[in-house]
Amino acid sequence: MKRKSNGGNIEIIIFVIFSIIGIGMFIGGVCFLIYSMNFSKIAKETTATVTEITRTRDHDGDVHHEVYVDYEVEGESYTHVHLNYYSSSMYEGGKINILYDPEKPGRISSKGGNTFMCVMLMGMGVVFGAVGIIPMLVSMKKNRKQKRLRQNGRVLHANVVSMDINRSYTVNGRHPYYLICEYRDEYSGKTYRFKSGNIWKEVVLNSLDDQYIDVYVDPQDFSQYAVDVDSFIQKSQANIIDYT
């Protein structure tokens, strides 16, 4: 039987993208916080009236709000000025406290809203960064372990008994595959079963009866093992004649 996928590098690319987005959001939150703190030092407070709240939806269906306010500074009126903050407690005609730049009164900010935005942005950055960085660290640790087993472990020639879909894991809308293989120790009579990592490349299994795969194990502890999927895939692809 024949299985296809788009390649194992997809998941690494996605983890890197999540990491970059997370780090960028966190740095952006920190920069915004510094800006807000500096602005608060020079800003003055006044009361504004909410004159308009617009609601729009993006392609994902998320609702976004734009708030516009009117206020006065030293007898001069400023109308329909955009405010960079929205709260569900706001309503048209309602009064809110804002901060303005005495040198440029048209430059305003919500009182307390910037702090909330900074915390939210940094929090989202931590979440996105964790989604990308933690799996990469786990993968690096696993790769070091497998490299050590390949160098120092005992090699077993295990029989491939099945190939299944890992439905608990999805990347780019696709599920990877995994192999189950068994090794029978003739001296002890025990049979050891192993599971490969995720397989994203094309694999051909003509007959499970004559398909073998190398498994590197710790001689003292067979639960520490590495299934040599790469070599198995190379042998599998040797049987593929692709005219596409």
Task: State residue 81 phi and psi, 5-degree precision.
Answer: -90, 130
C-beta of residue 181 within 8 angstroms of C-beta of residue 210: no
Burial of 14 (0-12, 13-18, 19+ CB in 10 A): middle
Say whether pLDDT at 3 is over 60.
no
Integer Cα distance of 207 and 211 in angstroms? 7
Task: Output the CA torsion sign for 95, 96, 102, 106.
Answer: negative
Gyration radius of the chain's alpha carbons: 29
pLDDT recorded at residue 47: 93
pLDDT of residue 210: 66
Q: What's the length of the chain?
A: 244
Enter the tokens of residue 77. Answer: 């009126």
Percent of the chain with pLDDT over 70: 87
